[in-house]
Every structure is written in structure tokens, then in C-alpha cells.
Structure 1
Amino acid sequence: MTRNLEWKVGVELREEAGRTEAEARLDTGRATYTGHGTARCDPADRDVPAIGDELAASRAMKDLAGRLMREADREMEAAGAGTVPRRTGPGYGWPEAVT
């Protein structure tokens, strides 16, 4: 069976006083998922709004992806299928920074 779907993610950004908040929304037609992310500018750093937008949006989309993955895991378990073991720690960055 061949299926073609298109899911669009909308991201809304709000910035106030050096803090950017993002909300990412996905409507699959069956359910709506929402992810949240924030970023703040350190007062000692130069204010570059685009960086805050990118950080907050990427964090919101990462949160959204996690919510979608958890829902898929629940549905696989309900269908009797096993799930993939969860990783501990991030898949990127400096592992020694994770406690």
C-alpha cells in the first residue's frame, strides 16, 4: 500500500526582555502535538535576536519530536510490538557535561 502524507509544523516565536519563547505545533489529522522551547540572552552577550529565535525554535521542535516519539512508542506497545530501548544522555554535545 502506498500512502502520501504531508504534515506541516508551525512555529510561533515571542521575544521580550532578552527571552525568546517558541511553540511548535503539528496537526496530524488524528491529533495535535505541541512542543515548547526557550532561549535567553546573557546580559554580557551582544543581543542577536536571530540566535535566540533559532535556539528557541529548535528546542521547541526537539520537544515536539519527543512527544511524537512517545506517542508512537505507546501505540506500538498497544499493538503488541516492542519499542526501541531509550538512550541515556544526549546524542550530541559533550558527554562529560551530562550528569
Structure 2
Amino acid sequence: MDENTTPRQPRTKRWTLRLDLFEEGDTTKVHAVLDTGDNRLESRAESRRNPHDPQVPEIGDEYAAGRALVDLGRRLIGSGTADAAANEPALHG
């Protein structure tokens, strides 16, 4: 680091994730919302109980929530990729 460069200050942010789960018969639906303060990403997913499986609502919750989170992760990576591409000229120019 040369004498004209100042060290970067640590940066702290809080992202909020909300999962709303809804049960309708043998179907569990999830609405996931990630609020980064700069961006808001949403995902929806569902799971259906196999009629031959026992009725254990937590299993449907886990499958539906997991699917929504995987989709949200893909959306977040896509958003980061788009932001990086949009800022590339500023980084190299």
C-alpha cells in the first residue's frame, strides 16, 4: 500500500430472508423473499405429498422451502453476474 492509499473500512450489511409457507391439502407452497437493501429477489415453490406417504407436514415444508431457496440462490447468482457485467467497463476503463 502506498502513502496515497487509505485502507478500506469494514462494511457490514444485513440481508433479510422471509419464507411464508402455506398448506393446501397435500400441497405446501412457499413464497421466499430476500431483501438485500439494494435489491429484492422473490421465489415461489411447492411440494406435494405422495398419497402413499404418511402425513408429516414438516417434510413438505422442508421440500418446498428447499426448492424456493435453491431457486433464490440461482436468481442471486444471476443478479450478481448481470451486475458484474454491467460494471465491467468501469472496472477496466
TM above 0.5, yes or no, is yes
1:12 maps onto 2:35 in alignment = no
Q: Judging by fraction of residues, say which structure has more helix.
A: 2
Q: Which residue of 2 aligns with 1:25?
A: 33
- Aligned match of 1:40: 48
Over alpha carbons, which structure has the higher Rg? 2
Identity %: 36
Query: Runs of 5+ in structure 2 lacking a partner?
Result: 1-7
Question: Which secondary structure does the structure 1 equivalent of 2:88 belong to?
Answer: coil
Q: Quick one: which amino acid aligns to residue 28 of structure 2?
A: T
Query: TM-score, normalized by length of structure 1?
Result: 0.77
8 Å Cα contact 1:35-1:62 kept in structure 2: no
| Aligned mates of 1:29, 1:45 — CA distance in 2 | 41
Cα separation, 1, equivalents of 2:62 and 2:16: 18
- TM-score by length of structure 2 reads 0.81
The Cα of 1:65 is off from its aligned counterpart by 1.0
Following TM superposition, the consecutive aligned residue runs of length 4 or more in structure 1 with deviations greater than 3 angstroms are: none
RMSD between superposed Cα atoms in Å = 1.2
Q: Which letter does structure 1 place at the counterpart of 2:52? A: A
Q: 2:67 aligns with which of 54, 59, 73?
A: 59
